[in-house]
A and B are shown apart, each in its own frame.
Chain A
Amino acid sequence: MINLLLIVFIISLLYLSIANRMVTYIRILAFQGFILFGVTFLQLQEINTWNLAIIMLETIVFKAIAVPFFLAYLLKRNHITREAEPFLPNFLSLVIVTLIIVITILLANSIKDTHLDKIFFVVALSTLFVGLYIIATRRKIITHVMGYLIIENGVFVLSLAVGNEMPMLVNLGIMLDIFASVLILGVFLNKIGDVFKNVNVDQLDKLKDY
């Protein structure tokens, strides 16, 4: 069951690479939040109940509901256009994301380690690289934030892989989540929308080494 959920998670990355509209990105993020909720429930068997409750509450509240809603609110409030405006065509994106996944699978198979659940490793690493890829190839600041949130999801999956042995690390991952959501989304995107009319990275070029 865990494997099934994680595979669906990977498929959502492929869908992300060809998504055109901003709303689709937000839906994928929310969807990933629900998947992580399920994975947490199934994976963390040995952890104490209260801790598990807190972790699951965080995944459902933050990852699946609050952050996507807030992103949608920001889209509306700042009149951000619906297009994702990638630098590369969608087909190429799909090919690159597929390549990333294939390479991580090959990499994971070359590791001889019995302590590691390989599927977690593959999902985490490919999510990390896809997030970086999204950040590198999209024009809007808000898409960069989404790329970062995707990286966070990947890191969360990795922390679940070691979660039974070291529950503290999962809690740290949650702290990272809350920190990033509060800092990046709460404080700045609001302001950036007010000060910059069109929220593209092209505008962030005043600070330079001239």
Chain B
Amino acid sequence: MTLFYLITALLLSVLIYLNRRQILNYVLVTIYAVLQWGFTIYSCYHYKSTELGYFTIDSLGLLLLITLSILSIPAFYHSYLYIKKHNETNQSRSIYFAALVMLLTSISAAYLANHIAVIWIFAELTTLSASALIYHHRNKLALEGTWKYVFICAISITFVFIGILFLSLSLQHAGSDDLSFSNLIANADSLNPFWLRLAFLFIFTGFTAKLGLVPMYTAGIDAKDTAPAPAAAMLSSVLMNMGFVGIFRFYSVVSQTSLHQWANLIILIAAMLSIFVATVYMTKMMNIKRMFAYSSIEHMGLVMLGLAMGGIGYYAAILHIILHSFVKASMFFQFTQLYRVFQSKSIYHVGNYFKYNPAGAIVILIAFISATAMPPSGLFVSEFLIFRSMFEARYIGLLLFVLLMLTIIIWAFGKSIFKILFTPPVGFDESRVPVISPWESLSQYILLAMAFWLGLNPPQAFTELIKDAITILPL
């Protein structure tokens, strides 16, 4: 089934690219959506099975795959709206959808890959397809964003490759040449620590470009700024999760060795720096899309903090990354409508959104409450658990620092969001405001409701899956 899925999705992507007729494009995209869901349901029924030797449907992969499939439907819907409103040419539409299909397919495959080289191959493919999405508008800004994204991703993908080479050197001491994660974990005791250390440094640095952590986070920010908002929603949710999968799977190998504490320290440093950088930029940010993107950096820092702390932090990290995907995606989906009203990304030219589109304004408000993890939201639960894990690990000083940073972020984020929602913009011509149907916000309401529901009252199966995903890690 995995083979069928990959080949069909690839074929669909090529067909969408070749067929420039509108109706055919949308039919093919619908077929892909059905295929994606079919594959997801198939995966649920074949939990814990291995296909083609390189793809294992394990708990973490399954959770993130379901997240991706849920997000893919609104992504296609909002892309359809976006393309329709912007009067795109046939060519740019077909390239956009072909790239989106390719991106979602390669991310799904990377989630399920059980071999570090296979994850690496699909990470390459995501760079390729994401760059086509970022270059969608074909102007100077898009070109600059694409160039920076491609260059930094190319370097980080090379870093991951160097890491894999060091890992293979480390594995030679164990007398084995199979780089699958299960084999690495089985041979964890006999891996050479020196090479493993280098391998972890390189692989971690490489995947931070996708995850959005300190050394390589810049590429993602520019990408989300220039890509169309529905594509940016995918870049800042499911693609970031792919970076998490890469780091998490390798971390679960390293955590079985004597380097566990050292790896925690590296992750901790990167996480703290990410939260700090996000805070600094959020206070000054005037570009709404970049503000959302920096908020993602902050959340990824928190996720990695949970991973570094251990204990309940592991659980919180996975819960947080799933909830964050729903919230951040709905923010970016809502941004497409915001942009249609104000025709600007700058906070200066945006304001009083409640007056023009109340349904959308409530989405932004709820998304803001979720993104800053205020009490009734689902992310409050996961963030609270992360803080608890810090408390239990006796990092009180760091905990205070993180809380201070988050307070500043809430202040900065709130200042901008309330400007968007309530303060009237200067010199704004109201006569050309389009009427936006409240139904367009429906998908965002559903996604946000899911984030609340999964955080406050998670179903049994969901918690079981998360618990199963972290059983491999030592306490």
Most chain B beta carbons < 10 A, residue from A111, A175, A176: A176
A204 touching B117 by the CB < 8 A rule?
A: no
Q: Which residues of A contact B151 (CB under 8 A)?
A: 144, 148, 184
Contact of B143 among A162, A175, A195 (CB under 8 A): A195
Report B's interface with A, CB cutoff 8 A.
Answer: 117, 120-121, 124, 127-128, 131, 140-141, 143-148, 150-151, 154-155, 157-158, 161-162, 164-165, 168-169, 172-173, 177, 179, 192, 194-195, 221-222, 225-226, 281, 284-287, 290
B280–chain A nearest beta-carbon distance, Å:
9
Distance in angstroms from A1 CB to nearest chain B CB is: 23
* B169 contacts A116, C-beta separation under 8 Å: yes
Known: A141-B147, A162-B168, A165-B168. 15 other contacts (CB 8 A): A115-B173, A144-B151, A148-B155, A148-B158, A162-B172, A165-B172, A168-B117, A169-B117, A172-B161, A175-B124, A180-B154, A184-B154, A196-B140, A207-B141, A207-B145
Q: Which 6 A-B pairs have the closest CB atoms?
A: A207-B222, A115-B172, A204-B144, A162-B168, A158-B165, A166-B177
Contact call A206/B140, Cβ cutoff below 8 A: yes
Q: Chain B residues with Cβ under 8 A from A195's Cβ?
A: 140, 143
Q: Are A209 and B290 in contact (CB under 8 A)?
A: yes
Nearest-neighbour CB distance to chain A for B109, whole angstroms, equals 15
With A183-B154, A207-B144 in contact, is A111–B284 under 8 Å at CB? no
Determine if A162 and B150 form an interchain contact, defined as CB atoms under 8 angstroms apart: no
Which residue in A169, A179, A204, A207 is a CB contact (below 8 Å) of B165?
A169
Known: A155-B162, A169-B165, A184-B151. A111 touches B194 (CB 8 A): yes
Q: Is A58 an interface residue (CB 8 A)?
A: no
Residue of B nearest to A132 (CB): B155
A159 at the interface (CB under 8 A from B): yes
Considering the chains assembled together, what is the distance between the CA atoms of A209 and B284 in angstroms?
Answer: 8
A188 touches B145 (CB 8 A): no
What residues of B have a CB within 8 angstroms of the CB of A206 in the complex? 140-141, 144
Decide if the interface of chain A is mainly helix, strand, loop or mixed: helix
B287/A210 in contact, CB under 8 A: yes
Most chain-B Cβ atoms within 10 A of its Cβ — which of A155, A159, A172, A209?
Answer: A209
Interface of B, secondary structure class, is helix
A86 at the interface (CB under 8 A from B): no
CB-based contact B148/A176 at 8 Å: no
Partner of B194, one of A113, A155, A175: A113
Question: Which chain A residue lies CB-closest to B177?
Answer: A166
How distant is the Cα of A184 from the Cα of B91 in the complex, in angstroms?
22
CA gap between A195 and B290 in the complex, in Å = 24
Whether the pair B226, A172 counts as a contact (CB closer than 8 A) is no
- C-beta contact mask, A135-178 vs B, less than 8 Å → 1, else 0? 00000010010001001100100110110011011001101100
Supply 21 A–B pairs (Cβ within 8 Å), ascending by A. A111-B194, A113-B192, A115-B172, A115-B173, A116-B169, A148-B155, A151-B155, A162-B169, A166-B177, A166-B179, A172-B120, A175-B121, A175-B124, A179-B124, A183-B127, A183-B131, A184-B150, A188-B150, A192-B147, A195-B143, A206-B144
Contacts of B173 in A (CB 8 A): 115
CB distance from B144 to the nearest CB of A (A): 5
Query: If the complex has contacts A172-B164, A176-B158, are A204 and B148 also in contact, measured as CB distance less than 8 A?
Result: yes
A113–B169 Cα distance when bound, in Å, is 10
Complex contacts, A79 vs chain B, CB 8 Å: none
**How far is B143's CA from A155's CA once the two chains are assembled, in angstroms?**
28
Size of A's binding interface in residues, CB under 8 A: 38
Interface set of A (CB-CB < 8 Å, partner B): 111, 113, 115-116, 128, 141, 144, 148, 151-152, 155, 158-159, 161-162, 165-166, 168-169, 172-173, 175-176, 179-180, 183-184, 187-188, 191-192, 195-196, 204, 206-207, 209-210
Task: Output the least CB separation between A181 and chain B (Å).
Answer: 10
Whole-angstrom distance between the alpha carbons of A159 and B117 in the complex? Answer: 13
Tell me the smallest distance from the CB of A191 to a CB of chain B, in Å.
6
A80 to chain B: closest CB distance in Å?
A: 16
A162: B residues at CB distance < 8 A:
165, 168-169, 172
A125 and B157 CA atoms in complex are apart in Å by 16
When distances are taken between beta carbons in the complex, the residues of chain A under 8 Å from B165 are 155, 158-159, 161-162, 169
Report the separation of the CA atoms of residues A151 and B156 in the bound assembly, to the nearest whole angstrom. 11
Q: How far is the CA of A113 from the CA of B179 in the complex (A)?
A: 20
A187 to B147, CA, bound (A): 10
Chain B residues lying within 8 Å of A165, measured Cβ to Cβ, are 168, 172, 177
Q: CA A115 – CA B158 in complex, angstroms?
A: 23
In the bound complex, CA of A179 to CA of B140 (Å): 24
> Once the chains bind, are A151 and B158 in contact (CB under 8 Å)?
yes
Residue of A nearest to B164 (CB): A169
Q: Hey, which chain A residues are within 8 Å of B150, CB to CB?
A: 183-184, 188
A158 touches B162 (CB 8 A): yes
A152, A173, A176, A204: the one contacting B147 at CB < 8 Å is A204
In the complex, what residues of B have CB within 8 A of residue A116's CB? 169
Shortest Cβ distance from A128 into B: residue: B162
User: Nearest Cβ in chain A — how far from B102, in angstroms?
Assistant: 13
A210 to B225, CA, bound (A): 13
Most buried by A among B121, B124, B151, B221: B151
Q: Is the CB of B162 within 8 A of A209?
A: no
Contact yes or no, A176 B157, CB < 8 A: yes
- How far is B11's CA from A178's CA once the two chains are assembled, in angstroms? 21
Name the A residues within 8 Å of B194 (CB-CB): 111, 113
Residues of A within 8 A of B164 (CB): 169, 172
